[in-house]
Amino acid sequence: MQRKFTRAIFPGSFDPITNGHLDVIQRGIKLFDELIVAVGRSPIKNALFTPDERVDMISEIITDMPRVSVESFDCLTVEYAAKKNADVILRGLRNLTDVQYEFQLAMTNRAVAGVETVFIMTSEQFGFTNSTMIREVAALGGDVSNLIPQSVYEKLRIKLKK
């Protein structure tokens, strides 16, 4: 019996993308035939980078990952998943707080749209970090160079100087 092709989306704001996100991408592509990093446009988040800037930053990082692509979207995640014929939503988990929130979201997505969610626990060295914290620490002059890809770190430094 031939195995079914599986497309997954990994949605998030990625403002900016972190080494934790990159860890989930690298481990997630081992599970799926195709992985789309889906940069969302959240009306409730105060973004530092535009969606296009985030797509460009991620595109640079994934150039050596042949089955990974990146796009932005401006609708409900489940609507985007349906448009892309995605079988799965990939999500990273860092801690128990994430588990509670993501569990509720996954149950809602399955009830509303019939789409499954697959969770990957982030590697322990990334379990404490998120994009918001990285933006805040960097804005206050802290060194976040070990928490984000080097190319993203350079763009973050430039953005914060403006």
Average pLDDT over residues 11-27: 96
Residue type present at position 39: V
In this prediction, residue 50 has a pLDDT band, given cuts at 50, 70 and 90, of very high
Nearest-angstrom CA–CA distance, 103 and 120: 13
Phi, psi of 34 (to 5 degrees): -145, 140
CB 89 within 8 A of CB 116: yes
Contacts 24+ apart (CB under 8 A), 82-86: 82/113, 82/115, 84/7, 84/9, 84/36, 84/38, 85/7, 86/7, 86/8, 86/9, 86/36, 86/115
Question: Among 6, 13, 2, 4, which Cα is nearest to 132's?
Answer: 13
52/39 Cα distance (integer angstroms): 9
Q: Which helix (H) or strand (E) holds 12?
A: strand 7-12
Is residue 52 a contact partner of residue 72, using CB atoms and an 8 Å limit?
A: yes
CA angle in degrees (0–180, nearest 5) for 121-91-140: 80
pLDDT digits (tens, 9 = 90+) for 105-159: 999 999 989 999 999 998 888 888 899 999 999 999 999 999 999 999 999 999 9
Q: Which residues lie below 8 Å from residue 133, measured CB to CB, with a gap of 6+? A: none
For 100-111, letters b (16+ CB in 10 Å) and e give eebeeebeebee
Looking at this protein, which amino acid is placed at residue 162? K
pLDDT tens for 77-115 read 999 999 999 999 999 998 888 899 999 999 999 998 999
Active site positions, annotated: 21, 45, 94, 131
For the domain covering 7-128, report its CATH number.
3.40.50.620
